[in-house]
Chain A
Amino acid sequence: MDVIVDVKRHAYDELVVLEDITMHVREGEIVAVIGPSGCGKSTLLGIVGGILKATKGSVYLEGRPAPDCLNPLTFIFQDFALLPWRTVEQNVALPLEHHRLAASERQARVADALQRTGLSDFAKALPKQLSGGMRQRVGIARALVVRPAVLLMDEPLSALDAQTRDLLMEDFLDLLLHERIAGIYVTHNFHEALRLADRVVVLSRRPGRIKEVLSVSIPQRERTQKAAQIQLADLGERLWSLIRDEASVADREVIHE
């Protein structure tokens, strides 16, 4: 299933946040979106996922999702968005509760999602009993349980420490590649973008417009190799040069609310 984004404009009152964003995310493709703070990355993801309505423009889905897909566009949140009063398995089961599924299928889906995220032994734990990395695994399991066609990931690793981030990113990549799930990955982090994405979309500062799209031609499985690292470092330099000046302005911005 493809996602076609055609957002002409998105504004909060007078403040134009996004303008002329067009992109086509193909089945199984991972697209990273980076840009300076306040460029509208998360807003764009919200629009793609139907949580926000673009002031002008639309997002389209093309193709049919797999028959077992219950929620084609599924989010993974930066702050995990877990229900603290529910156990891990209850959190993972939440998106299934309003679907007419046999109890056995529901249990099977939950067990499968827990197993794929390494959470089977933590099914009865409460979120407060888990580390940040494990909590995000619950968020990932909750997303996988609906068998999504496209994962919308809003800085899913940014709340984690560097070591956990690296470990989880590799698991994350395995899942995405194995399941052939398309993904839109919003991040500040070049390293993550270049590790995961087939293409990196660079947004300019407000209003966010597509400044450049960089293709990362090295297959994800080979990106940890030394030869690839040099090319990726060059791409990282290129990305940084594209947003450095605007990131500096964004850093000095006074927020008026």
Chain B
Amino acid sequence: MSEITANGPALRREVDFRGGGFMAVPQPLYSWIAFAGIIALWQGAISWGWIDPVFLPSPASICLSLWQLVVSGDMWKHVSISLQRIGTGWVVGTTLGLLVGITMGLLSSARAIAMPLVSAIYPIPKIALLPLLILWLGIGEAPKIVTIASGVFFPTIIATLSGVDAVPRNLIRMAQSFNLPMRSIIWKIMMPSALPGILAGFRISVSTALILVVSAEMIGAQYGIGAFLLTAGNLMQSDDLMAGVVMLSILGLSIGAILTALERMLLRWR
């Protein structure tokens, strides 16, 4: 920028840069440093006697506990049973949620009938239904799986419906202009178009399934991560309890990584 003044030569100054910030820049090193720092501080606080290990066990003792669980085979026993419950409940809830969501997206009448019901039932914490489900279905696996399925069902409906609603109308019009049959429009246009929304819904529903499996197993189960956590808590075995929490975290991260890989594979076109 230059400026001519009445008194003398032009004044020249560089234009200030004002466009910085508001940009997400990946900083993986910061993440690892922060993580290591917190673990070190935590270990130090216990080693130096600042915190009673009964209330908060040290990272080292949690690792030891985890190792013992692995060696004894208990970890696999609990994790596998929880995974079976999550898997069955999630598949059932997701399948039904997809069917209902697509139907609601396609048929105005189905939307009019189901929307008030979905809106009324969705906010209810599904774990509140477990005692009722035990009353109806007995104390076996069924009430736990139904609790998880019902928790997964509603967010899947909402994600699917949003995905179907977000399908660009111009693509539907294009397909109609070539006389594509309804079935082709659903499978070739609507479903791929709604897929990003549906996959985003999967993330929410998987988290819900993880929360519900722990809660359900705490209420009525001998095995599973929830049951293991409850037992450890009742026996004041805080290192086992924290080992169980770490197991849950690893499980959540693993499922998240699988979903990310799935998204990368199915949504390469984005």
Contact = CB atoms under 8 A, between A and B. Distances in A.
B181 interface: yes
Contacts of A75: 173-174, 177
B270 A84 contact: yes
Interface stretch (A27-35, A92-100, A183-191, A221-229): A92-100
Chain A interface secondary structure, helix, strand, loop or mixed? loop
Interface residues of A, number: 22
Contacts of A103: none
Interface residues of B, number: 18
A95 B270 contact: no
Given A77-B170, A85-B269, A97-B184, A51 B192 contact: no
A134 B24 CA distance: 32
Interface in B186-204: 188-189, 192
B184 A83 contact: no
Most buried by A among B175, B178, B184: B178
A125 B173 CA distance: 24
B176 interface: yes
B188 to A, nearest CB: 7
A81 interface: yes
B179 interface: yes
Chain B interface secondary structure, helix, strand, loop or mixed? helix
Contacts of A146: 178
A126 interface: yes
A49 B177 CA distance: 7
A71 B179 contact: yes
B170 A83 contact: no
B251 interface: no
Contacts of B168: 81
B70 interface: no
B180 interface: yes
Given A97-B184, A98-B184, A128-B269, A85 B179 contact: no
B171 interface: yes
Most buried by A among B170, B269, B270: B269
Contact of B178 (A84, A86, A95): A95
A84 B170 CA distance: 13
B219 to A, nearest CB: 43
B178 A85 contact: no
Interface string A73-90: 111010101011110000
Given A97-B184, A98-B184, A126-B269, A81 B178 contact: no
Contact of A85 (B175, B176, B192): B192
A71 B171 contact: no
A83 B189 contact: yes
A50 B177 CA distance: 8
Most buried by B among A75, A81, A128, A146: A81
20 contacts: A46-B173, A49-B177, A50-B177, A51-B173, A51-B176, A71-B179, A74-B178, A75-B173, A75-B177, A77-B170, A81-B171, A83-B188, A83-B189, A86-B269, A94-B180, A94-B188, A95-B180, A97-B180, A98-B179, A128-B269
Given A95-B178, A98-B181, A146-B178, 19 more contacts: A71-B178, A73-B177, A75-B173, A75-B177, A77-B170, A81-B168, A81-B171, A81-B173, A81-B174, A83-B192, A84-B270, A86-B269, A94-B175, A94-B180, A97-B180, A97-B184, A98-B179, A98-B184, A128-B269
